[in-house]
Amino acid sequence: MPVRAYKKHIPLVAVRGLAVIPGMIIHFDIAKEGAVSAIERAMVQKDQQVFIVMQKEPEGQDDPDGPLNLYPVGCICAVKQVLKLPDKTIRVLVEGIRRGRIEGLTQEEQCLIGAVRPIVAQDGLGYESETDPEKVAVIQSFMATMKEYLQYNPKVEKILSKCKVSKIPFVDLMDMYAAHLPMTAIDRQKLLEAVGERERAVAFCTILENEINILRVRQDLQDQVRDRVDKNQKEYILREQLKAIKEELGEGHSLTDEEEYLVKIDRLKASKEVKDKLKKEVDRLGQVSIYSSESGVIRAYIETLLEMPWDKVSRDNRDLKDAERILDEDHYGLKKVKERMLEFLAVRNLTKKGDSPIVCLVGPPGTGKTSIAKSVARALDKKYVRVSLGGIRDEAEIRGHRKTYVGAMPGRIAMGLKHAGVKNPLFLLDEIDKMSSDYRGDTASALLEVLDSEQNNKFRDHYIELPIDLSQVLFIATANSASDIPRPLLDRMELIEVSSYTENEKVHIAKEHLIHKQFEKTG
């Protein structure tokens, strides 16, 4: 049975956020009168000892600095140095000697005196010899954990290498490590309260394992960041080397892709909103790797925006007689269609602008509806774009796909404008009555915005993500039957019926058009 140490009455200093381990040398500042009095009282004693105990975190307690708010185990320390500071505080240098447990408190004048029973090294060990199998296992487990921790924290390993550990008992070795390792005051307090070798080793290993997990995650994050930085730095060096090689070969004045894009943006006829969007995308392109998939997506998007006719318009044919001559040359009859197209041109000549009508040619197959639209484009000297709507059932065909999807591209309306190269072409919406709908969206509803003269000046394609002006586009639609066209679409269009031809008209068409075509075909 180990002999219990006698109680000692020692001046007590309660500190917050600090736990002192035996063998630990530390200095701290104190300003409270009671703590200052305890230090002064210790200095006049022969052994100059003081009992340092940590205060618990106050959580709604009436007296956070009272004796009931102290941990039961602290450290008996020797005061090595006291330095008075100008702001009436004192800086104390102490060295931890041994653990102690509070068994009573008395108030003498302004300081607390603690009845402290020292915890001797043999208390709670439980091992009879140094070769005890359990003790050997505990030591080996602790040292393995400590070795793994030092791999992640080499700075601490340098500090510990200066300490002589060859003949130090295991319990004292753990105290020495606890004094030098960076850990929280709560963790040190747990080690202070752990008495036996096994209990202290288990508590220490638990703390070390938590620290190892934190250090491992931190190192993984640092490795990821370092890899990215190294990759970017490598790419930068390679680009600089490539630039130097080009300069040596006399190709140094060639522009990079980003610089070429910026030159094209400056020359582009477009609004400030479009140019700002393009410059933002060029900045993004400069920040991503040239070999990444995102780079290809951004390049495709920039090139699509640069090819869009934002403010490019073609000049219409304003000669009414010339337009009438071309219409008569290409088609016999069709009086209503020709009159409506000439009226549109006449209004445009008078107002210098005028809204483009949305004409829908309705008639049976083979009556020349599509060729009429082509002749109107030639008569008005407009670019001609044909979009076949037969069988379309996906709304994205009209509005485009969002850029987040693989293989995304603009809708047929935006692509038609891109191919035309101007913002005022003639758009033929062929077979508008053959559209269908399914779970991917209603194409007829998507066309409403395209054909509505009040909305189509700011049509938004999902891929382009910028407003497109369709107000100057001349839309001509064709259909076999008006009854199959959705009613909201029908209300936005001007119907012109193209009926089948009479015998007299067929004879004229054969004489003036078909015979000449057959002569050319047969040579």
Q: What CA–CA distance (Å, rounded) separates 284 from 253?
A: 23
If we measure between CA atoms, which residue out of 144, 137, 30, 146 comes closest to residue 77?
30
Taking the domains of the chain in order of start, what are their residue ranges?
8-119, 124-250, 257-307, 320-517
**Higher pLDDT pick, 245 / 77:** 77
Q: How confident is the model at residue 60 (pLDDT cuts 50, 70, 90)?
A: very low
Class of 8-119 per CATH? mainly beta
Residue 119 has pLDDT above 80, yes or no: yes
- What confidence tens digit (pLDDT) does each residue in 193-242 have? 888 788 888 888 888 888 888 888 888 888 888 887 777 788 778 877 87
For residue 3, what pLDDT band results from cuts at 50, 70 and 90?
A: very low
Q: What are phi and psi of 518, to 5 degrees?
A: -65, -40
Q: Is residue 62 pLDDT above 60, yes or no?
A: no
pLDDT per residue as tens digits for the range 456-489? 888 888 888 888 888 888 888 888 888 888 888 8
Region 494-502 average pLDDT: 75
Distance CA 87, CA 92 (A): 15
Residue 194: which of 358, 365, 73 has the closest Cα? 73
Which pLDDT value is given to residue 123? 46
Compute the half-sphere exposure of residue 390: CA atoms within 13 Å on the CB side of its CA. 7
Per-residue pLDDT at 53: 92
Q: What percent of the chain has pLDDT over 70?
A: 86
Domain spanning 320-517, CATH class: alpha beta
The per-residue pLDDT for range 278-297, each reduced to its tens digit, is: 888 888 887 777 767 788 88
Q: Fold identical between 124-250 and 320-517?
A: no
Distance, CA of 253 to CA of 41 (rounded, Å): 83
Task: Tell me, letter by letter, the H, E, C secondary structure of 298-356.
Answer: HHHHHHHHHHCCCCCCCCCCCCHHHHHHHHHHHCCCCHHHHHHHHHHHHHHHHHCCCCC
Q: Which helix or strand (DSSP H or E) is residue 379 part of?
A: helix 369-380
Which pLDDT score, from 0 to 100, does residue 52 have?
92
Give every CB contact of residue 412 below 8 A, 6+ residues apart in sequence: 387, 397, 398
124-250 fold: Methane Monooxygenase Hydroxylase; Chain G, domain 1 (1.20.58)
**How far apart (Å, rounded) are the C-alpha atoms in residues 405 and 367?**
41
High-pLDDT (> 90) share of the chain, %: 3
Sorting pLDDT into bands at 50, 70 and 90, what band is 93?
A: very high
**Model confidence pLDDT, tens digit, residues 328-374:** 777 667 777 778 778 877 887 787 665 667 888 888 887 778 888 88
Q: How many CA atoms lie within 13 A of 376 on its CB side?
A: 31
Q: Is the pLDDT of residue 58 over 70?
A: no
- Look at residues 350, 248, 264 and name the one whose alpha carbon lies nearest to residue 256: 264
Check residues 308 and 289 and name the one with the higher pLDDT.
308
Place of tokens 């060295």: 95
pLDDT in tens, 7-53: 788 899 988 888 998 888 888 888 888 888 888 888 888 888 999 99
